[in-house]
Chain A
Amino acid sequence: MPKDGGIGASTKRREDVRFLSGTGQYTDDINLHGQAHAYFLRSDVAHGTINGIDTEAAEAMPGVLKVFTAKDFEGVGGVPCGWQVTDRFGEVMQEPKHPVLAEGRVRHVGDPIAVVVAETLAQARDAAEAIVPDISDLPAVVDLKAALEDGAQKVHEELKSNLCYDWGFVEDNRDAVDEAIRNAHHVTTLELRNNRLIANPMEPRVAVGDYNRANDEHTLYTTSQNPHVIRLLMGAFVLGIPEHKLRVVAPDVGGGFGAKIYHYAEEAFCTFAAKALGRPVKWTSSRSEAFMSDAHGRDHVTKIELALDKDNNFTALRTETYANMGAYLSTFAPSIPTWLHGTLMAGNYKTPLIYVNVKAVFTNTVPVDAYRGAGRPEATYQLERVVDQAARELGVSPIELRRQNFITEFPYATPVAVEYDTGDYHATMDKLLEMTDHAGFEARAAESKKNGKLRGFGLAHYIEACGIAPSNLVGQLGARAGLYESATVRVNATGSISVMTGSHSHGQGHETTFAQVISEMIGIDANQVDIIHGDTGRGPMGMGTYGSRSIAVGGSAMVRAAEKVINKAKKIAAHLMEASEGDIELKDGKFSVAGTDKEVAWGDVTLAAYVPHNYPLEDIEPGLEETAFYDPANFTYPSGAYGCEVEVDPETGKVEIVGFAAADDFGNVINPMIVEGQVHGGLAQGIGQALMENCAYDADGQLISASYMDYAMPRSSDLPMFKVDHSCVTPCTHNPLGVKGCGEAGAIGSPPAVVNAVLDALNRGGHKVAHIDMPTSPARVWAAMNKTPMAAE
């Protein structure tokens, strides 16, 4: 296979042509005949009782078709949660109803109270101003620990408390871990916060509902990472529409990062209202709405303790985390601080005893769910911070302390229930130190000092679990869905191929990479292969794209389907060449008979499949189309070493990143160019978290970082050029491509590397600072250097 097309080639992305010429089709670009526009009136208080909603004046406004409130949704289900966590006492989590429109109470700023549907968006917005909601304020629950105190105001009156669950993992290890920490030679303790973030894909969410009275079919166009999952959740749990009467289309989607996984109330609303009004109904989120209605990410408060013996071996690890769920349980929310976080607490280290406790808490804030990395950044951050701090306390090299405790033999069963199949952590560490010119660091630090700056180097080594996940395992852990992926490979008569995949591309470039794989397998030009995704009406079942699972799970399903196609095509080829099937080889788009010069082209075989005049009809059916469902045997375990070099201005506390390098082991790589782009983007988000981004609520539950004026999105001048490398390869052992996934790594490994670098700079400069919470803004760094307590933010 020429290296401009198959596996391993940096093939240019075919999707770029439409994106660069303005001909992409995003959901907001869809305008249906007769469409009406929805505008959501949202709560401006964090918590309150709805005494009444006067919609009379609004209903009389020009162009208004109807004003909807909760009373129009009687008999309609709540927005469901897809994961049920069982706590450490064997009780299932508390799970409040999440109504489509607020019923009796508003529970966060942004909670929808009413929706106006009108002929134009401007008319709907004007009419919403005429709605008079009568809401009595209730005290807002904002602080995680205060929320759990006796007598605290409850977010949901019908629940016992604000505690969603109290989870222990592995519960049987609890006493042994306590004892090991009590008896340890040294214990390093840190208390830290993983700051709340907002995913902020550049395309705001959009939903367009349509209903066809003739055949009773609903269509929802939506900005989703997983249209089949939306069809299942919305159809089965909210609106009671069977799958065969509901089509969900997610066309070009402008980024997701987790925030477009979940089923949102606006999707159900537009689908419902389209039937109620007999008109297509469109809703387009403004960015301001996005800040208060897209699920947020992270928001953990953690105490972590690492025990070491006299030789600096890690002997035990204990964590206690308070995880913010927000006001309602978003689709995957309960799984993030538990199964996607606790299971990763071994990191790259052979710590024999680990206990993780997580208390998930309801508050009067926007629901919190997965954001790029989802649980794994939280695990990596606390672990890589505490290891660095232990090295500082013990006066040893943070590099050597990590190396000494690295897992080196695989497969490795961690004490937190997962088995790493492959990895080589010393290799990525070696590569990183080479990339960062670690040997030259002291000279650069001396140079910085001359210029009045403090220079620091920070390191993090991460492991993540991708390719989520074996269905039987996640079923035991509380998932209410399977996590396989499916693909159909449809070979057309003339040999071109349409692949329908359940994975969804919203920036990842699947249309290019998936075609590279098929091209490599069959030996035909990638331009003969189309990748179709994002439409439940065109593809088989799909679980969608999140958790860096597309190539590892969706790609594997496609490979399995293509293998079925090839096996059948070989039978046809054997018939055409009057040879034994076992002797048929497929190479460069030609079937040949081993040891002879007989051959038949791919296109001749595919034509025979559809024009079966000379064809083994007694043995096989005509046609050439196969579907496969792939359920992974295990997670995949990408890992890597990340290094950050910073200069801190001691006068202002401003941190400048002067170098950032990432050495990743992603297993085999299909398209290096795209993989590097994924790492760049992850790094930008992780560095953004560490330096700038912060979603802040005040004590009354007002969202005070609710626009790009207040929420610090990384801009081009905030980031450096990155050095990235993926030459350390230990292929995944259990999927056909040996791939691990690369989408989230950058956001997982970079925050601790940045914070460790800032602390290194400060400590080298004589400031004895153990920790600074993210974001390491100039104010926080300056305060830490000058031992000034931060004013409340």
Chain B
Amino acid sequence: MNRIELKVNGKTVSGEVEGRTLLVDFLRQTLRLTGTHVGCDTSQCGACTIHMNGMPVKSCSVLAAEADGAEVTTIEGMANADGSLNTMQQAFQDFHGLQCGFCTPGMVMAATALLRENPKPSEGEIRHYLEGNICRCTGYHNIVKAIQAASGQDVTPVAAE
């Protein structure tokens, strides 16, 4: 067992982990931060996407031990200080960018990282960036619109196309 200490959503946390424990399992099982989801076992679906030291990573592909000393942000740490949805989260609601909600935390984390790298992405750039995040419900149409809207670009309102 290894003792790790890291900062998650601004709070310092620690725990004992096996060498094989994945970061996503540490988040979900030890910290009970169940907003981060597991949708596959081949690092393909992106439901477990979080930010580690400011970068989007699939937390199923990081050992918990590797996160020792890291700064991690999960979906639970994304809302505004008053608890309201932040710009990206609000855009997902406004543009119906989610249905079952299972891929959604990973999508929001990936989309947030995209806008940090590219503040005004085109439709094609958004679609390319989301290659590693699978959604089975929305056909991506409204996810693309939500991200464009969150980046301040003009988007046709919902149900008006």
Contact surface of A with B, Cβ cutoff 8 Å: 10, 12-13, 15-26, 28-29, 31, 122, 200-204, 252-255, 257, 286-288, 506-509, 672-674, 676-678, 680-685, 707-709, 713-717, 719, 721-724, 746
- Cβ-defined contact, B130 with A715, below 8 A: yes
**Minimum distance in angstroms from B60 CB to a CB of chain A:** 10
In the complex, A524→B139 CA distance in Å?
34
Q: 9 A–B contact pairs at CB < 8 A? A: A13-B96, A16-B98, A20-B93, A26-B37, A201-B102, A255-B137, A673-B96, A681-B137, A708-B44
Q: List B residues 129-153 near A (Cβ within 8 Å).
A: 130-131, 133-144
Residue of B nearest to A677 (CB): B96
Across the interface, B94 reaches (CB within 8 A) one of A12, A507, A713, namely A12
**Minimum distance in angstroms from B92 CB to a CB of chain A:** 6
In the complex, A399→B45 CA distance in Å?
40
- Cβ-defined contact, A684 with B138, below 8 A: yes
Residue of A nearest to B89 (CB): A20
- Cβ-defined contact, B140 with A21, below 8 A: no
- Cβ-defined contact, A708 with B134, below 8 A: yes
B4: Cβ under 8 A from any A Cβ: no
- Cβ-defined contact, A684 with B139, below 8 A: yes
In the complex, A719→B159 CA distance in Å?
19
**Minimum distance in angstroms from B51 CB to a CB of chain A:** 13
Across the interface, B39 reaches (CB within 8 A) one of A203, A509, A674, A685, namely A203
Given contacts A204-B38, A255-B102, 6 further A-B contacts (CB under 8 A): A508-B99, A684-B139, A708-B44, A716-B127, A721-B144, A722-B141
In the complex, A681→B97 CA distance in Å?
11
In the complex, A488→B138 CA distance in Å?
31
In the complex, A17→B86 CA distance in Å?
11
**Minimum distance in angstroms from B90 CB to a CB of chain A:** 8
With a cutoff of 8 Å between Cβ atoms, the chain B residues found around residue A709 in the complex are 42, 44
A-B contact count (CB 8 A): 190
- Cβ-defined contact, B134 with A202, below 8 A: yes
Across the interface, B102 reaches (CB within 8 A) one of A13, A20, A203, namely A203
With a cutoff of 8 Å between Cβ atoms, the chain B residues found around residue A19 in the complex are 98, 100-101, 104
Flag B27-63 by CB within 8 Å of A: 1 or 0 each: 0110011111111111011010000000000000000
In the complex, A717→B126 CA distance in Å?
9
- Cβ-defined contact, B40 with A708, below 8 A: yes
- Cβ-defined contact, B92 with A202, below 8 A: no
Knowing A16-B98, A202-B100, A507-B100, the reply to whether A22 touches B141 (Cβ < 8 A) is no
Knowing A21-B76, A674-B96, the reply to whether A15 touches B159 (Cβ < 8 A) is no
- Cβ-defined contact, B100 with A707, below 8 A: no
- Cβ-defined contact, A20 with B108, below 8 A: yes
Q: Give the interface centre of A21, A28, A509 by most chain B CB atoms within 10 Å.
A: A21
With a cutoff of 8 Å between Cβ atoms, the chain A residues found around residue B65 in the complex are none
Knowing A12-B94, A20-B108, the reply to whether A506 touches B139 (Cβ < 8 A) is no
Residue of A nearest to B20 (CB): A122
Q: List B residues 64-102 near A (Cβ within 8 Å).
A: 74-76, 78-79, 85, 89, 92-94, 96, 98-102
Residue of A nearest to B44 (CB): A708
With a cutoff of 8 Å between Cβ atoms, the chain A residues found around residue B16 in the complex are none
Q: Which 6 A/B pairs are nearest by Cβ-Cβ distance?
A: A22-B35, A19-B101, A254-B102, A684-B139, A507-B100, A708-B44
Q: Give the interface centre of B36, B89, B102 by most chain A CB atoms within 10 Å.
A: B102
- Cβ-defined contact, A21 with B96, below 8 A: no
B154: Cβ under 8 A from any A Cβ: no
- Cβ-defined contact, A681 with B138, below 8 A: yes
In the complex, A716→B138 CA distance in Å?
10
With a cutoff of 8 Å between Cβ atoms, the chain B residues found around residue A21 in the complex are 35, 75-76, 78-79, 85, 89
With a cutoff of 8 Å between Cβ atoms, the chain B residues found around residue A23 in the complex are 35, 76
- Cβ-defined contact, B93 with A17, below 8 A: yes
Q: Give the interface centre of A15, A24, A716 by most chain B CB atoms within 10 Å.
A: A716
B11: Cβ under 8 A from any A Cβ: no
- Cβ-defined contact, A721 with B141, below 8 A: yes
- Cβ-defined contact, A13 with B93, below 8 A: yes
Across the interface, A203 reaches (CB within 8 A) one of B96, B100, B144, B159, namely B100
Knowing A10-B159, A721-B123, the reply to whether A716 touches B131 (Cβ < 8 A) is yes
In the complex, A724→B29 CA distance in Å?
42
With a cutoff of 8 Å between Cβ atoms, the chain B residues found around residue A722 in the complex are 139, 141
In the complex, A672→B96 CA distance in Å?
11
In the complex, A13→B101 CA distance in Å?
11
**Minimum distance in angstroms from A127 CB to a CB of chain B:** 15
In the complex, A713→B102 CA distance in Å?
16
In the complex, A25→B29 CA distance in Å?
14
Across the interface, B42 reaches (CB within 8 A) one of A257, A287, A680, namely A287
With a cutoff of 8 Å between Cβ atoms, the chain A residues found around residue B41 in the complex are 286-288, 707
With a cutoff of 8 Å between Cβ atoms, the chain A residues found around residue B39 in the complex are 202-204, 254, 287
